Amino acid sequence: MTQTIAASTPRPKAGGRMKTRGRLIDLAIDVFLFCFSILMILPLVFLVSNAFKTPEEIVAWPPRIIPTDPTLENFRSVLADTPLPLWIFNSVAFSTLSMVAIVMTSAIAGYVLAKFPFRSLNIVFILILATAIVPFEVYMIPLYFQAQALGVLNSLWGLLLGYLVMSFGIFLIRQNVMHSIPDELLEAARIDGAGEFWIFWKIVLPLLRGALGALAVLAFFQAWTSFAWPMIVTTTRDSYTIEVGLALFQTGFTVDLGRLSAASAAVLVPSITLFVILRRNFVQGVASTGMKE
């Protein structure tokens, strides 16, 4: 009788077990990623929170995310004692002009290296890739003497001198041009009488919108977060970028956490705004680049 009941009990199907196991694995991955993202974003949350805390509350233990007595004194002190808006303006101008220069040079160089069949261009491309493995610190001092000879120290042009071309940007655009723009399309435009500048402006650039958006974000943040080059090329207080200016809040023995947090929180606004504006292009550009060989 027992054997008859066991034989008549329906067994779960293998497909159902596999589906349940897959859902559990997906749930575990989601939980892990959620916890990891919380850990990653927690320092940023405390940075913004500390900007509104008193000095006593900043060092209190255990720390609190929401201030018990919110204050704007840190922001008032920073704006009164330092030229923070000028530093932000210098960084925005430096990062924006560097981004425009890198996007332009990368688009032109990447298109020429990808679609013009000259053997010498391969040598040029190899040389460009070779410069990518040379650390910036190696040629930073010769570049400083060059800026000094040109008389552009403590100026925006001096800052831009080291951030006009990005070898990775040229490589990124070249690969996108090779895989996204067919030769037949360009030949058809030439047969119809289109000039090279018209082809580049009307056909090539619109098709590279995603890659150029991703490169723009990378180039902007490269200049925005740069410290070593602005540190040596600017020596006056009014010519500092925001990264150099923030270093003034730290001395050899103390760190002004309240004002440093307030200044850092104010600095987040331009960079987050740009990322939100170009987020779609950045994601599309990185995704399309990753899917190409």
| Tokens of residue 181, six digits | 């723009």
Cα three-residue angle 108-225-135, rounded to 5 degrees: 65
In angstroms and rounded to an integer, the radius of gyration of the C-alpha atoms of the chain is 27
What would the pLDDT profile of 52-111 be if each residue is shown by its tens digit?
A: 888 788 877 888 888 888 888 888 888 888 888 888 899 889 999 999 999 999 999 999
- Model confidence at 154, pLDDT cuts 50, 70, 90, reads confident
Sign of CA dihedral 126, 130, 131, 133: positive
How far apart are alpha carbons 175 and 210 in whole angstroms? Answer: 13
Determine contact, residues 227/243, Cβ cutoff 8 Å.
yes
**Least confident residue range of 58-62, 96-100, 139-143, 159-163:** 58-62
What would the pLDDT profile of 22-66 be if each residue is shown by its tens digit?
A: 888 989 999 999 999 888 888 888 888 888 888 788 877 888 888
pLDDT confidence of residue 94? 92
How far apart are alpha carbons 77 and 118 in whole angstroms? Answer: 60
How far apart are alpha carbons 287 and 180 in whole angstroms? Answer: 13
What would the pLDDT profile of 231-263 be if each residue is shown by its tens digit?
A: 888 888 888 888 888 887 766 566 677 778 888
What would the pLDDT profile of 197-219 be if each residue is shown by its tens digit?
A: 899 888 888 888 888 888 888 89
Instruction: Decide: helix, strand or coil at residue 79.
Output: helix
Torsion angle defined by CA atoms of residues 257, 261, 264 and 265, in that order, rounded to the nearest 10 degrees: 180
How far apart are alpha carbons 212 and 163 in whole angstroms? Answer: 17
Cα three-residue angle 249-96-74, rounded to 5 degrees: 25
